[in-house]
A and B are shown apart, each in its own frame.
Chain A
Amino acid sequence: MELLYKPWPWYVAGPIIGLSVPALLWIGNKNLGISSTLRQICAATYPGKIAFLNYDWKNDSWNLFFAAGILIGGFIGGYVFANPDPVAVSSETIGLFQSWGLNTSKGLLPPEVFNWNTLFTLKGFLMIIVGGFFVGFGTRYGGGCTSGHGILGLSAFQWPSLLATISFFIGGILFSYWVVPYILAL
């Protein structure tokens, strides 16, 4: 029983994530890529007169089912069978977080930042609202995210996906070193 609550090592989680590529292709010639669902939801709810949002989003409704599945998977793995222990990051990372004023006592996200009270501060606005905006804007501008470019695109040896993945990491590293620490100090 205890095993259900434990996190999975990378060599279990990674191959299962990778197997979603052939599974989606085999079931219906579908390409893994989750950021597309954001466009679909925009198209379904408020397309306005925007050309990019006026397309037959229902053709890709499979992806909304896939995304709903991810939410359920998150509920099972992160709520019902949540790991009671802190994320086992390295000791250097614990030191880094302490220097940022965070402790890693529990959960998958730092509770000091990701809570409803912080949301209404400048810190929360930048981390959650601006951060979310960048995720939605950047993935669509870049034509994919970590799944569509980073896993599917690289699996199919698509060089634009390699450029995209390198860009994701450069952006993330820049912010992790030189922006996030200052926002957290606000």
Chain B
Amino acid sequence: MKNLPYLFLGIVFGLALTKGEAISWHRMHEMFHFQSFHMYGIFMTAVPVGALSIFLFRRLHVRTRTGEPILKPVKVYRHGVIIGGLIFGFGWALTGACPGPLYAQIGAGYLVTIVTFISALFGTWVYAYLKPNLPD
């Protein structure tokens, strides 16, 4: 099963999100009110670890495990980055969840968040439907 490594990595990622309380509604509002370093500490360690890894991969010409060159991740600017970003922020404060934590909240047994998840699917679907008419 070629996808098994991703399942395993997801388990580790989900454990870190959950045990780091990054799926907690309480932690999100504590962060939005700048009342603790906890969530900022998670971002401020996760990002440098990611950045350093990408830097070292390039420096040492590391290839993937199957020998392909590793491609640099690219994110393109559209106005949606800001407009959509704000809308996501609203939902983040309401639900206490980003898409990753949504899966973890369900797994952790907060079953009503299945409804949050289905609404998020519906939101994605409506975006796709309206996409031709939205400012890009």
Chain A residues packing against B (C-beta within 8 Å): 6-31, 34-35, 37-39, 41-42, 46, 48, 50-53, 61-63, 65-79, 82, 87, 89-90, 92-93, 96-97, 104, 107-110, 113-116, 119, 126-161, 163-177, 179-180, 183
A160 and B107 form a contact (CB under 8 A): no
23 contacts between A and B (CB under 8 A): A9-B41, A12-B20, A16-B13, A18-B46, A25-B53, A35-B99, A38-B120, A63-B6, A69-B13, A74-B108, A78-B18, A110-B26, A128-B95, A132-B118, A132-B119, A132-B120, A135-B91, A135-B123, A155-B51, A157-B51, A158-B73, A163-B77, A171-B92
B106 and A10 form a contact (CB under 8 A): no
Candidates A8, A70, A163; contact of B104 at CB < 8 Å: A70
B77 and A147 form a contact (CB under 8 A): no
B26 and A104 form a contact (CB under 8 A): yes
A36 to chain B minimum Cβ distance, whole angstroms, is 9
B110 and A114 form a contact (CB under 8 A): yes
Task: Provide the main secondary structure of the chain A interface.
Answer: helix
B84 and A109 form a contact (CB under 8 A): no
User: Number of B interface residues, CB 8 Å?
Assistant: 116
- Determine the chain A residues whose CB is within 8 A of the CB of B39 once the complex forms: 10
- Determine the chain B residues whose CB is within 8 A of the CB of A10 once the complex forms: 20, 37-42, 45
B135 to chain A minimum Cβ distance, whole angstroms, is 10
| Interface flags, B97-136, vs A, CB<8A=1, else 0 | 1111011111111101101111111111111110110100
Chain B residues packing against A (C-beta within 8 Å): 2-33, 35-51, 53-54, 57, 62, 64-66, 68, 70-78, 80-100, 102-110, 112-113, 115-129, 131-132, 134
B88 to chain A minimum Cβ distance, whole angstroms, is 3
B107 and A78 form a contact (CB under 8 A): yes
Candidates A126, A147, A170, A175; contact of B98 at CB < 8 Å: A147
* Chain A to chain B: the 8 pairs with minimum beta-carbon distance, closest first: A171-B89, A69-B10, A73-B14, A13-B20, A78-B108, A141-B84, A167-B85, A136-B123
- Determine the chain B residues whose CB is within 8 A of the CB of A175 once the complex forms: 32, 89-90, 92-94
Q: Which residue of A lies closest to B44 (CB)?
A: A14
Candidates B6, B42, B44, B89; contact of A65 at CB < 8 Å: B6
Q: How far is the CA of A71 from the CA of B106 in the complex (A)?
A: 7
B35 and A138 form a contact (CB under 8 A): no
Q: How far is the CA of A166 from the CA of B132 in the complex (A)?
A: 26
